[in-house]
């Protein structure tokens, strides 16, 4: 098996894809050969299947992923989704696709994966012509209204989003226990000394030490109390996974983001959340900096276009400056793509040159004949596919949060006028 694996990998690296596929497919009915380190085999299969799809070898692509032989739940889920997607969208076999999507749904437990499996099971059921079953699956997906596929399911149902995440309320006993914990006391001592920049390991230890929603809520509050919205988001996201948590803490609002429509503040916030978790001091390994993770060269061009004095240090030291140049860059991308947000978001992550290449290869999402969801799933970089989906779902949540706050503000003003 090791020799076969290395031969497959070498051929794939040398772009001898047909030979690599033939070698893999010759072993398709013998799952024993991938029983050792199946995740390595899956990586090769997934890459080769995607390349096969791009070149029109659809049956080969399906055979590669359908006989996946994976044992880890996450890898099974990815492989079953991939096989179902190819069967549904490329082979036109909705019955086989539905089986794969049901297999996916049965092995996962987190909202992003549950909504993904249920949404695609709904699409497959719809193509079969079973409206009742499609409605059932869409309803299951729609239970996760803060996820990309849950939101698509809500739209498919023609329903209104219902964010039923319940904010947990700790008891007095739980609060006392939390405050008496050594980790909590360390965080408070450091925070009170103005050292909130070094509390991350202690907050993270608190977050991963507790599964109870009430304790995660208190960890969220503790992080936010000392100015660490980024750590608050992590804690709140972990709590939301269990069906309870701070939705507002998971999707915080930055007071320095203008509420004008160009670019939309919901989109700005979603990008900021995905890029830096609202950490103004974030610096990536590639050198992107600050809240909106801007590369210095890009930030300098945008600053010049705004007649702002540029200094690299301002990207992490001056949040308002980072937001200003980040919004300018986002507005430029939106203008470049005629306001199309999927292309804009993909460009923010992978660069507009690559996105133009994908448009040429997979079609233009602005074309009504191009399925936007399929286009996103065709993106060859898993990081960018995930990025687009996470930013899209964040934008969806933020827009509804802003609308909710506007309604609440209007009600408060009405009461004041009375």
Neighbours of 221 (CB within 10 A): 16
- Could you write out the three-class secondary structure of 263-281? CCHHHHHHHHHHHHCCCCC
Beta bridge partners of 166: 244
Active-site residue, selected from the candidate residues 44, 78, 80, 275:
275
| Closest residue by Cα to residue 60 from 101, 15, 90, 98 | 90
Nearest to 90, CA basis, from 361, 376, 374, 389? 374
With H, G, I as helix, E, B as strand and everything else as coil, classify residue 8: helix
* Residue position matching structure tokens 């450091």: 190
* Total length of the chain: 418
The answer to whether 19 is a known catalytic residue is no
Which alpha helices (H) appear in 90-228, and where do they start and end? Answer: 94-107, 111-128, 131-142, 148-157, 172-180, 182-192, 200-209, 213-225
CA end-to-end span of the chain: 78
Give the whole-angstrom CA distance, residue 126 versus residue 121: 9
Please identify every residue annotated as catalytic: 275
């Amino acid at each position: 098996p090791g020799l076969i694996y290395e031969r497959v990998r070498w051929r794939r690296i040398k772009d001898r894809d047909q030979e690599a596929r033939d070698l893999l497919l010759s072993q398709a009915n013998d799952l024993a050969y991938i029983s050792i380190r199946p995740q390595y085999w899956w990586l090769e299969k997934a890459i080769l299947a995607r390349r096969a799809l791009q070149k029109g070898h659809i049956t080969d692509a399906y055979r590669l992923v359908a006989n996946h032989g994976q044992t880890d739940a996450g890898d099974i889920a990815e492989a079953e989704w991939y096989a179902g997607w190819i069967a549904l969208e490329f082979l036109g076999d909705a019955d086989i696709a539905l089986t794969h999507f049901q297999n996916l749904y049965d092995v996962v437990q987190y909202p992003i994966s549950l909504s993904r499996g249920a949404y695609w099971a709904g699409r497959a059921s719809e193509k079969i012509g079973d409206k009742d079953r499609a409605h059932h699956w869409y309803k299951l997906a729609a239970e996760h209204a803060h996820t990309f596929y849950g939101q698509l399911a809500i739209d498919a149902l023609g329903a209104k989003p219902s964010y039923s995440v319940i904010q947990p309320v700790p008891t007095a006993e739980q609060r006392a226990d939390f405050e008496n914990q050594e980790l909590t006391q360390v965080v408070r001592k450091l925070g009170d000394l103005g050292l909130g920049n070094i509390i991350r390991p202690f907050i993270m230890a608190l977050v991963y030490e507790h599964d109870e929603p009430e304790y995660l809520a208190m960890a969220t509050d503790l992080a936010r109390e000392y100015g660490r919205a980024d750590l608050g988001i992590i804690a709140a996201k972990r709590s939301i996974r269990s069906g309870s948590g701070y939705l507002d803490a998971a999707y915080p609002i930055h007071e320095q983001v203008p509420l004008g429509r160009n670019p939309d503040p919901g989109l700005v916030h979603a990008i900021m959340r995905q890029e830096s978790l609202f950490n103004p001091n974030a610096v990536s390994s590639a050198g992107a900096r600050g809240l909106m993770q801007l590369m210095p060269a890009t930030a300098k061009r945008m600053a010049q276009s705004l007649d702002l004095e540029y200094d690299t240090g301002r990207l992490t030291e001056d949040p308002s400056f980072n937001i200003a140049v980040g919004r300018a860059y986002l507005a430029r991308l939106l203008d470049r793509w005629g306001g199309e947000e999927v292309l804009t978001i993909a460009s923010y992550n992978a660069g507009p040159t690559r996105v133009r290449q994908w448009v040429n290869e997979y079609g233009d999402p602005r074309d009504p004949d191009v399925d936007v969801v399929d286009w996103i799933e065709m993106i060859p970089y898993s990081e960018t596919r995930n990025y687009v989906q996470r930013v899209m779902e964040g934008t969806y949540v933020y827009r509804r949060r802003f609308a909710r706050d506007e309604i609440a503000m209007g009600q408060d003003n009405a009461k004041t006028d009375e």
